[in-house]
Amino acid sequence: MEFKRTPDERFHGLVDYPFQPHYLQVDDTEGGELRIHYLDEGPSDGDVVLLLHGQPAWSYLYRYMIPPLVEAGFRVIAPDLVGFGRSDKPTQTEDYTYARHVAWMSGWLTQLDLSDITVFLQDWGSLIGLRLVAAFPERFAGVVLANGGLPTGPIPEGFSAPLKEAYKTLPVVKAEELEARFRDRSGVPGMLYWRKFCAESPEILRPGDAVIDRVGNSIVITDDEKAAFNAPYPDESYLAGARRFPSLVPLFPDDAEVAENKAAWEVLKQFDKPFMCAFSDDDPVTAGGDKAFLDRVPGCKGVEHRTITSAGHFLQHEQPQQCVQAILDLKRGTDHV
């Protein structure tokens, strides 16, 4: 599998990101290997907090959460998914599949041999992370789910064919229009506009400017922060993963990984360790997505769920203190189990 590796100098001197890189090699599923980057901060014998990012972000999204968690005594681990951050980036969009992402992160997790994990999941971090929880429930002590989910083809079969046809002629909207498309529940789902945007828009080359700063965001992002979010992508050849991810979300009943996600749900319906929903109050992407977990996951019972206030989709950037508090509160709950 051909891949690109973002030059190290792109990551030098990033604002509020003083962390040292760590790397592991995983099987690329084609006889080669890919390098996964991760942060590993805090005491090596501390209880593990795992932070999984989504698309088009990378571990930089957790820069404000890592120091207070380390100060609280945790070993904090934050990987970059394949195709993002300092991890290797296969150059062909077809190299990216949902199943491969789960396999790559499963290989990474088992190599580190992590256990008693409290995991914080958001966006694609949840689509992959919840599959890890289902595959290795014995390794996880608790889950904080924030603006995420585990879809199993939620678009009804009767709407699938017309929406797939409509997608072919959807315009590639400007970045500033994306939030409105997500908030409009009367027409084509906003996720399809997002899928088209990522697949075709040149703006995705600069996610810090085009996305992190726009989707339900209530806090100003500085030019230095935008540059840091953009750092993994020197040019178009590094973008295959960022362009591909939205097309891998199982929206339609016949999409790949629907059956696998349904099987993962069967495990989650038996998961009785503390499971907190901490969705934000102004996310047009995942609003209402917590209900399925509150209704179906036993570990949600007796947990103090919360709403992260004054935050949009990227709540780790906007309200890191509230996100940290959610982890601390859940961890206090696991200590009494």
- For the segment 320-334, what is each residue's pLDDT rounded down to a tens digit? 999 999 999 999 876
| Mean pLDDT along residues 291-320 | 96
Answer yes or no: 45 catalytic: no
Among 80, 88, 95, 123, the one annotated catalytic: 123
| Mean pLDDT along residues 209-229 | 82
Residue 17: burial class (beta carbons within 10 Å; 0-12, 13-18, 19+): middle
Among 37, 53, 313, 317, the one annotated catalytic: 313
Which tens digits make up the pLDDT trace of 163-199?
999 999 999 999 999 999 999 988 899 999 999 999 9
Answer yes or no: 283 catalytic: yes
Residue 148's identity, in one-letter code, is: G
pLDDT of residue 124: 97
| Whole-prediction pTM | 0.97
Mean pLDDT of all residues belonging to the chain: 95
Element (H, E) at 182: helix 178-183
For the chain, the distance separating the N- and C-terminal CA atoms, rounded to the nearest angstrom, is 45
Answer yes or no: 313 catalytic: yes
Q: Which domains does the chain have, with CATH numbers?
A: 1-337 (3.40.50.1820)
Which tens digits make up the pLDDT trace of 1-11?
999 999 999 99
Among 28, 88, 213, 283, the one annotated catalytic: 283
